[in-house]
Amino acid sequence: MTSAIETRDGLPEKAARIAVILFWTGARVFSIVLVLAAWEILARSGTFTPFQLPALSAVLERIWSDAWSGDLAINTALTLYRALVSFAICAVGGVAIGMAMSRNKIANWFFDPIISVGFPMPKIAFLPVVILWLGVYDVSKITIIVIDAIFPVIAATVIAIQGVERELIWSARNMGANNRELLTQIVLPAALPQIMTGLQVALPLTLIVAVVAEMLMGGYGLGGAMITASRFANSTGVFAGIVEIAVIGYCLVKAMAMLRRRLLIWHQEANEPTTA
Amino acid sequence: MKQFIRYLPLLLLAVTWELAARLELVSNTALPPLSDVILAWVDMIKDGELLTNGASSLYRAGAGLGLSIAIGGVLGITMAWWKPVNVLLAPLVEIFYPLPKSALIPVTVIWLGFGDGSKILLIFLGCMLPVTMGAFNGARSSEQVLVWSARSMGANKLRMLWDVVLPSAMPELLNGIRTALALSFILLVSSELIVAQKGFGFLIGFLGANGSYDAMYAVVLTVAFLGFAADRIYLLILRRTLAWREQTP
């Protein structure tokens, strides 16, 4: 099939198409390269001291040596472990609470004001309280991350289930679906797009809070490594930390978007042109 | 009455807190009774500690957020309006958008020190991209029919920007600002907890280190309440601004 198209298109058109693709890829990469080059040149020109802005090459060297010494792997693994365990708790717990709220009047009565007051609160302020209760190890880090990131999941689940079309539920009931079948085969799939949106809000939050918690409590982890570096006025270490955390954040967000596309391949949004 | 029943769970939580602490079900260091916390709050209001620290926190959040709205909004609309800018900036936005903004805390300290400047810069950097994305998505989605009719009625580019693109960008822009508002509080408190000499976050850390936990709880609850109140007030403004739309969020 493809070969037929290629022969019909002929060479010049194909070349033009490749040129167009190359041009746009080049344009996309151009600004990133520009910024990286500007960073290196600015740092080397002496406009800033190496403390204010270490050269990109120095930062990369530092990341390279961290990678070889194994520090990078340990810190990344710990930060990811904390963020992802919390994310899993938020996903399971948030969807469960959201479902309970939309199926059970008492659960709704109890949780609704807590969600509506708690959602907009800066829950990170409770971090010292959590430290007071649970210490400075993984349990308290995971707890504060869950406290921060579970609200968007609950809210999205409640709204999603409210928005499921009545006709779908009626017809399933008509065809004799029991409550469990209704939930797993109709309500959850129909609510999935919005639940996924809630999860996509929660995921970056888990990383933000994980980094703050690590910075405040110290120890291993990317945030902890950054704050240690900054205490020793080691700004190369600080910038290396930012680059590492940025890469991880980017990969996680992209992975989540891919997961969404896979899970929702049956949904009409998969056919719409995506922007993200 | 309806409101009372609606918010009864919060009251129940407060009563549980008070009882658990008074009956010593949990240690009073970990959870001082709510009444003590309220007394500590009144004390701190009286001696002005809460107000001076609060004022400097709100100044930081306001300045950072204001800058991010002004610059982020203009940036987003320019990106939607003018293609070369979009080609140039979109990859940067895509890369920096998922960056956990709290990672910038030590860098802003390296650049601007321990005072107001580093917090304002952090909040500005952290809040700018949600505003930019909101403005960009909103301005890009302005209906072609509206754009065409405005053009056929002889509107010039500037008028179109003002009369067509900006109003249709408004809903998404305002939603972006709401995200930024929540983020500004998170960044403010985290950066003040980690390095500061005044502000809510500093006060929380300071009181916690001194062991005056009732006062610490009072400040924590104050910050939480302010974040909640800011969101509610913003929501009111948002509903009013968007009242001309057929359905409001």
CATH code of the domain in which B197 resides: 1.10.3720.10
Cβ(A99)–Cβ(A183) under 8 Å?
yes
Q: Report residue B27 as tokens.
A: 């240690």
- Chain B residues 177-216 within an 8 A CB cutoff of chain A: 182, 185-186, 188-190, 193-194, 200-201, 204-205, 208, 213, 216
C-alpha–C-alpha distance, residues A235 and B218, integer Å = 36
- Residues of the domain holding A38: 2-45
Residue A276 falls inside a structural domain: no
Residue of A31, A110, A226 lying closest to B92 (CB–CB) = A31
Residue B125 and residue B58: Cα distance in Å, rounded? 17
CB hemisphere CA count around B224 (13 angstroms): 20
From chain B, the residues in CB contact with A204 under 8 A are 98, 100
**Residue A95 maps to a domain:** yes
B21 domain residue, yes or no: no
Residue A173 shares a structural domain with residue A205: yes
Q: Which of B106, B110, B186 sits opposite A227 (nearest CB)?
A: B106
The count of structural domains within chain A is: 2
Does some domain include residue B13? Answer: no
Burial A189-200 (b: 16+ CB within 10 A, else e): ebbbbbbbbbbb
Residues A21 and A131 in one domain: no
Residue B29 counted as domain residue: no
Residue A26 tokens read as 């080049």
Chain B interface, best mutation among A20, A105, A108, A121, by max B CB count within 10 A:
A121
Question: CATH code at A151?
Answer: 1.10.3720.10
Q: Domain check: are A125 and A221 in the same one?
A: yes
| pLDDT tens digits, one per residue of B33-60 | 888 899 989 988 888 888 999 999 999 9
Is residue A275 a part of any domain in this protein? Answer: no
What distance in Å separates residue B156's CA from the closest CA in chain A?
29
Tell whether A159 is covered by a domain: yes
The answer to whether position B14 is within a domain reads no
Tell whether A114 and A174 lie within a shared domain: yes
Shared domain for A158 and A123, answered yes or no, is yes
Does residue A74 sit in the same domain as residue A140? yes
Digitized pLDDT (tens) for each residue of chain A, 276 residues in all: 444 444 455 567 778 888 888 887 777 788 888 888 988 888 888 888 888 888 888 899 999 998 898 889 999 999 999 999 999 999 999 999 999 998 888 888 899 889 888 888 898 889 988 988 888 888 999 999 999 999 999 999 998 988 888 888 888 888 887 888 888 888 888 888 889 989 998 999 999 999 999 998 888 889 999 988 888 888 899 999 999 999 999 999 999 989 988 888 877 665 554 444
In a domain, B227, yes or no: yes
Q: Are residues A76 and A20 in the same domain?
A: no
Write out the residue range of the structural domain in which residue B113 sits: 34-241
> CB of A130 within 8 Å of any CB in chain B?
no
Residues A29 and A97 reside in one and the same domain: no
Look at residue B47 and tell me if it is in a domain.
yes
- The token pair at B94 is 């895509």
Same domain as A91, residue A33: no
Total structural domains in chain B? Answer: 1
